[in-house]
Structure 1
Amino acid sequence: MFFKSSKINEFRLWGLLFTLIGMGLMIFGTAGIVLWGQTGKIFAGVFMVFGMIAMLLSVGVYFWAGMLSTSATMLDCPECKRPTKMLGKTDRCMFCRTKLTLDPNQATHTHTPG
């Protein structure tokens, strides 16, 4: 995991990045019309297409994250006691980023005195 957050939040982050990149490309392309007039229309058209492709990628990523979210395992985080979703054998809490697992072989057991 890249930013040490839950897997579903990672997918949503990539969707947001594709959205911002797509919008940025389209705005950058529109600047071609303002700066170069008639010749900038080709520049704008090319960057509009690239921006639209990035926006469609973001829609796909958000759709994929939504589909994964519907089949995710719901459990209560042992740290913050809030319900969170878990993908795969190991994941992190969506709220406090505590490492979670359903596999007893990968679980860490700490003995608390008392």
Structure 2
Amino acid sequence: MFFKSSKINEFRLWGLFFTLFGMGLMILGTAGIVFWGGQAGKIFAGIFMVIGMIAMLLSVGVYFWAGMMSTSAVILVCPECNRHTKILGKTDRCMYCKTKLTLDPNQATDLGEPTTEHM
């Protein structure tokens, strides 16, 4: 994982990024009308409006995809913060405390077995 958050939150972050990027491009496009005016400004604004709209539609797709994955995610209780969290795949992070979680016993680091310490 690139960021230290749950996979669902990472997808939502990418959706937010595409939303802000698309809105920024649309605002930048309207600046062409202000600075150049006339036909050149309208063409500049039109190009950036279309690219910004594509980025906005991409964000809608990412949010839809994250929502569909969220409906089929496994819900479990985090052992650290005792809150219900969703996990995608075999390993993921808690949505709240960022603890690494796994459903595969072979990848678990602490299996809850008692340890014997000798002094």
Same-fold call, TM cutoff 0.5: yes
Amino acid paired to 1:65: A
Aligned length: 114
1:86 is aligned to: 87
1:3 is aligned to: 3
Partner Cα separation in structure 2 for residue 10 and residue 112 of structure 1: 36
User: What 5-or-longer segments of structure 2 have no aligned partner?
Assistant: none
CA distance 1:3–1:33, shift in 2 (3 Å):
same
1:107 is aligned to: 108
Partner Cα separation in structure 1 for residue 27 and residue 4 of structure 2: 32
Amino acid paired to 2:24: G
Give the C-alpha shift of residue 3 in structure 1.
1.1
Residue 35 in structure 1 maps to residue 45 in structure 2? no
Partner Cα separation in structure 1 for residue 37 and residue 100 of structure 2: 55
Bigger radius of gyration:
2
Partner Cα separation in structure 2 for residue 90 and residue 79 of structure 1: 16
Give the C-alpha shift of residue 113 in structure 1.
7.6
Amino acid paired to 1:87: L
User: What 5-or-longer segments of structure 1 have no aligned partner?
Assistant: none
SS in 1 for 2:98: coil
SS in 2 for 1:107: coil
SS in 2 for 1:59: helix
Q: Please, what TM-score do these two structures have when normalized by structure 1?
A: 0.96
Q: Please, what TM-score do these two structures have when normalized by structure 2?
A: 0.92
CA distance 1:13–1:113, shift in 2 (3 Å):
farther
Partner Cα separation in structure 2 for residue 23 and residue 17 of structure 1: 10
SS in 1 for 2:76: strand
Identical columns (%): 81
SS in 2 for 1:41: helix
CA-based RMSD:
1.5
| Deviation readout 1:30-51 (Å, 9 max, x if unpaired) | 0000011112000000000000
Give the C-alpha shift of residue 80 in structure 1.
0.2
